[in-house]
């Protein structure tokens, strides 16, 4: 291999590794009290945390195949949720993306094992199980002003009368395709493609600056349960 080609490959590898790093790492420990007088450094209104290094599987099963859905549920530890709903069990989070499509969020290093178990359990049923780990990151946005921050860039109604715990929206946040998951009032998770993750992280920090925010250390597992 020529030296120039080798250098190109090394640069591409460096970029790929860099893209996999938690996007909030440069901001870890950063905090501001914002403009609101009641905020303090110890009690900021918004807390941003990246749930880093999670695994993701895209699962497709015919919506009418109840037996296949049942077999998948046995492997995943929970029934497959309806569209725009999600549930968590045994460290796994399942999101209903479409009538026959689900996104499964797993602890780090579990994707290959669960993928093999699903393929074996589904057998001859018409299905697709794809490891999409590395293409998505998850940002947790909590605190008394979390909803106010997201409302600055979301195109959907986040009021708790409409958007309830266990629901998710596939929408656009500050111009970036994003899945917003609701764990309760002022408690959200954002699933963002890594190609947009730096933009969304910077936008969230800017949007939260008005109220005061803290960026906590990246979490290595989901805190959904």
- Tell me: the pLDDT tens digits for 113-171? 999 999 999 999 999 999 999 888 899 999 999 999 999 999 999 999 999 999 999 99
Give the angle 105-111-117 at the CA atoms, nearest 5°: 110
Share of residues in the chain with pLDDT > 70 (%):
77
Contact 75, 118 (CB under 8 A): yes
Query: In the chain, where does DSSP find H-type helix?
Result: 3-20, 66-76, 111-122, 146-151, 194-208
pLDDT of 17 strictly over 50: no
Give the angle 57-202-96 at the CA atoms, nearest 5°: 25
pLDDT of 26 strictly over 50: yes
**What's the pTM value of the predicted model, to 2 decimals?**
0.81
pLDDT tens digit sequence for 45-54: 999 998 878 9
Average pLDDT estimate for 88-95:
91
pLDDT the model gives residue 24: 61
Listed by start position, the domains of the chain span: 22-52+135-215, 55-131
Contact 204, 32 (CB under 8 A): no
Contact 195, 214 (CB under 8 A): no
Q: What CATH class does 55-131 carry?
A: alpha beta
Main-chain dihedrals φ then ψ at residue 163, nearest 5 degrees:
-105, 105
Q: Which CATH number fits domain 22-52+135-215: 3.30.1360.120, 3.90.550.10, 3.90.1200.10, 3.40.50.12160?
A: 3.30.1360.120
């Amino acid at each position: 291999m020529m030296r120039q080609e080798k250098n190109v490959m090394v640069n591409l590898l460096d970029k790929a590794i860099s893209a996999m790093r938690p996007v909030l790492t440069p901001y870890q420990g950063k905090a501001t009290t914002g403009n609101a007088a009641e905020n303090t450094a110890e009690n900021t209104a918004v807390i941003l945390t990246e749930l880093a290094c999670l695994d993701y599987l895209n699962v497709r099963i015919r919506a009418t195949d109840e037996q296949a859905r049942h077999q998948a549920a046995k492997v995943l530890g929970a029934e497959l949720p309806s569209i725009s709903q999600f549930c968590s069990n045994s460290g796994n989070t399942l999101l209903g993306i479409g009538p026959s499509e689900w996104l499964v969020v797993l602890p780090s290093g579990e994707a290959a094992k669960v993928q093999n178990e699903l393929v074996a359990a589904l057998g001859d049923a018409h299905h697709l199980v794809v490891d999409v780990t590395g293409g998505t990151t998850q940002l947790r946005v909590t605190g008394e002003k979390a909803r106010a921050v997201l409302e600055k860039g979301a195109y959907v109604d986040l009021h708790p009368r409409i958007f309830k715990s266990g629901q998710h929206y596939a929408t656009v946040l500050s111009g970036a395709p994003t899945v917003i998951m609701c764990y309760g009032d002022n408690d959200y998770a954002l699933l963002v493609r890594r190609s947009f993750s730096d933009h969304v992280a910077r936008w969230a920090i800017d949007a939260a600056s008005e109220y005061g925010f803290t960026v906590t250390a990246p979490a290595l597992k989901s805190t959904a349960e």
